[in-house]
Structure 1
Amino acid sequence: MIVEKRIALPDDDTPTDAPPAHKERPQSWRWFSFGLRSRVAKQVRVTVLGILRDLVKQPDISSSASAILESCADACRMNNLSISTLLQEPSVEGHTPLYWAIIKRAPGSPVEPEDPSSPDLLESFLSIATPFTETTISDIRLACLNNADHALYQRLRRSPAFSPLSGAEEVLLGGVRPVDEINVLNVEEDDCAFVVDFRIPLFQKRLRVSKQLNLEFIAKDRLWSLKFLIAAAENSNIRPIAETGTWLVTLALLEHSAPTAVDSNLIIKDATIPASPSPSSPSVLSRQTKGKPTITLRMKTGTTHLAPDHRDNVISTSFKDSLMAESLQYNASPYVAADGSLTARLEARLGRPDGECIIC
């Protein structure tokens, strides 16, 4: 009787001279095969981590990053490894390769890649690093803060991987994230002062549905969070005590930020009045519509400095503190533009409150 030998498939580790298929291999063979694959995977892991380290150390090879990373990703797939996981390991001096790619960006580098077909090192990393862990997001925040790169931070925050929409927001917005415009300005006459201009699309609708709008920015070497909230059970752990349904605004410091005292005003003007009438429209100039009074909501620290990582360490004010601010809750509010957007300005100064003037 002739017994045919089994033919090894390309992805089959069975030797061509193995016993017939109907006979089981010895247990020791299975352990040998598993051990061999495990050793290869460990070697691939070490090699890929070394390549990632070289990429962030040597700017001259970053132009080839996409091709190099593609080869690394292929090697990881063949050995049941995740290139995303390796990119998020703190394998380079206690930080992720993503951290160093941000830190080593040249000052003034464009936030968006100039040539999408030739991404820089950070773009190449971001394209294969998701989904991010909370630890990775923290490392990215720290890198943007250390690099004082507010523009890049805003761009990353618009990424679903960095700041995903809630379920309610997904339904409301159809998965398309509105772009909250946040511009930070320093005050030349005062090194301790800064100004932040906000434009928040669909302000009322988004706030009513999700119960909170979180705006984050970098100013004065700190990460800040300005939140609009409607007091509800689902956000009771991130806001001061308030009656259900109350509209609030809070200011807080985020992780990696040094504690500080701060005095600030949130200023919202009548959206129906043009900011600067065009000289070509004499009828507008002559009308001189007075408009509604400007809303000013003051937020300042007391005897304790504002500090990060403390749930209750926020400064806040209720819209009930201002008759005009309460009107922001209503449809057709004069403070909300016709397209549903809210324009606001935060004027702030680090240090203990001193008098009523924040930025004169």
Structure 2
Amino acid sequence: MATDSKVADDSSTPPSYDTILASPIQCDQSSVFSFRRMKKKRTAVLSRIRDIVLAPDFILSSVVPNVNACAAALSATELSKLLKQLNIEGHTALYWAIVNNRPQALWTFFKFISGTSPFVFSDLRIACMITNDYTMFKELRFGNLSDRRSRCFLGCLPDEVQVHTCNEPTNQFDVVFQIRMFQKRLRTATAKSLRFEFVAGGRIWWLR
């Protein structure tokens, strides 16, 4: 009596356990090298930025060439991200530019920053506070926190807040507010209030 016999197809047999263990993990070496190169670039750029804001032998004329060199080494997105991070002694490079009185570095950095973040906003305010720098506080457009829309609608000039130090050791100071079209703006303001901030005596004060 004839019987049919079939030979199993070896291609359908799963590989042995030993074969699986011996198989190497595939990895794109070019991607690894690219990541390492980028990491080295970021480290080098951060070191250069750190020197710009912290080095004692700071040279004013070297700011722009050094920042341009950083911009050439990284993409615009990477450089912007680096400048907005708290990566220098727990603060941003912008903070140290204010604290160490290097405004040219600060404004040069801003040219390469896209957008902002709560960390940057807070860091800038703290820097102005501890340096008692109300002039920088105003230049960064802090101070008048509300009513900008109604002021523009009425064609009103910017308000003025002048801080005069009377006795620095005791933190005594005078503040003069010149609020234009006060009654009209108060009627048109959405929150029915005007709020102002200023720096004096190593603190940030507000009036509303």
User: Which of the two has higher C-alpha Rg?
Assistant: 2
Tell me which of 174, 194, 198 is aligned to 2:173: 194
Q: Which of 120, 133, 136 is the aligned partner of 1:149?
A: 133
Q: Equivalent residues in 2 for 1:221-240 (5 A)?
A: 221-227=202-208
> What secondary structure is seen at the aligned counterpart in 2 of 1:35?
helix
Q: Percent identity of the aligned residues?
A: 32
Match of 2:194 in 1: 213
CA deviation after TM superposition for structure 1 residue 127, in Å: 2.4
* Residue 60 (structure 1) shift: 3.0
Any residues of structure 2 matched to 1:151-300 within 5 Å, and which?
151-157=135-141, 169=149, 173=152, 178-188=157-167, 191=170, 193-207=172-186, 208-211=188-191, 212-227=193-208
Cα deviation for residue 39 of structure 1 reads 1.9
Quote the Cα distance in structure 1 between the aligned partners of 2:168 and 2:59: 43
Q: 1:192 Cα deviation (Å)?
A: 5.4
What are the Cα deviations for residues 264-313 of structure 1, in whole angstroms up to 9, with x where unaligned?
A: xxxxxxxxxxxxxxxxxxxxxxxxxxxxxxxxxxxxxxxxxxxxxxxxxx
Query: Could you say what secondary structure the match of 2:101 adopts?
Result: coil
Alpha-carbon distance in structure 1 between the residues aligned to 2:168 and 2:100: 31
Report which of the two has the higher share of strand: 1
- What residue in structure 2 maps to residue 315 of structure 1? none
Q: CA deviation at 1:165?
A: 7.6
8 Å CA contact 2:45–2:70 kept in 1: the answer is yes
CA drift of 1:140 comes to: 1.1
Unpaired stretches in structure 1, ≥5 consecutive residues? 1-26, 107-118, 228-360
**1: CA distance between counterparts of 2:168 and 2:80?**
46
Evaluate the alpha carbon distance shift between residue 139 and residue 218 of structure 1 in structure 2; reply closer, same or farther with a 3 A threshold. same
Please give the residue correspondences for 1:1-360 in structure 2 after superposition, counting only pairs within 5 Å: 28=26, 31-58=28-55, 59-77=57-75, 81-105=77-101, 120-157=104-141, 169=149, 173=152, 178-188=157-167, 191=170, 193-207=172-186, 208-211=188-191, 212-227=193-208
Displacement of 1:141 in angstroms is: 1.2
Contact 2:168–2:201 (CA under 8 A) maintained in structure 1: no
Is the 8 Å Cα contact of residues 198 and 205 (structure 2) preserved in structure 1? yes
Could you say which residue in structure 2 is the equivalent of 1:296?
none
Structure with higher helix content: 2
- 1:102 Cα shift? 0.6
Distance 1:226 1:53, change over 3 A: same
User: Aligned partners of 1:153 and 1:54: how far apart in 2?
Assistant: 24
Structure 2 Cα separation of the partners of residues 61 and 193 of structure 1: 36
Residues 125/201 of structure 1: CA separation in 2 closer, same or farther (3 Å cut)? farther
Change (3 A) 1:94 1:200: same
1:164–1:150 CA distance, 2 compared to 1 (3 A): closer
RMSD: 3.4
Q: Aligned in 2, Cα 1:173/1:51: closer, same or farther, shift over 3 Å?
A: same
Question: What is the CA–CA distance in structure 1 between the aligned matches of 2:156 and 2:69, rounded to whole Å?
Answer: 33
Count of equivalent residues:
180
Task: Please report the TM-score for the alignment, with normalisation by the length of structure 2.
Answer: 0.71
1-side partners of 2:92 and 2:41: how far apart?
18
Kindly state the Cα deviation for residue 37 of structure 1 after the two structures are TM-superposed.
2.3
Show CA shifts across 1:82-127 (max 9, x none).
2122112222211111111111117xxxxxxxxxxxx822221222
Please list the CA deviations of residues 179-200 of structure 1 after superposition, one character each: whole Å capped at 9, or x if unmatched.
Answer: 3211112335993543211122
One-letter code of the match for 1:139?
D
With normalisation by structure 1, the TM-score equals 0.43
1:56, 1:62 within 8 Å by CA — same for their partners in 2?
no
Secondary structure of the structure 1 residue equivalent to 2:195? strand
Q: CA deviation at 1:40?
A: 1.9
- SS of equivalent to 1:213: coil
CA separation of 1:92 and 1:190: change in aligned 2, threshold 3 A: closer
Which amino acid in 1 is paired with 2:48?
A: I
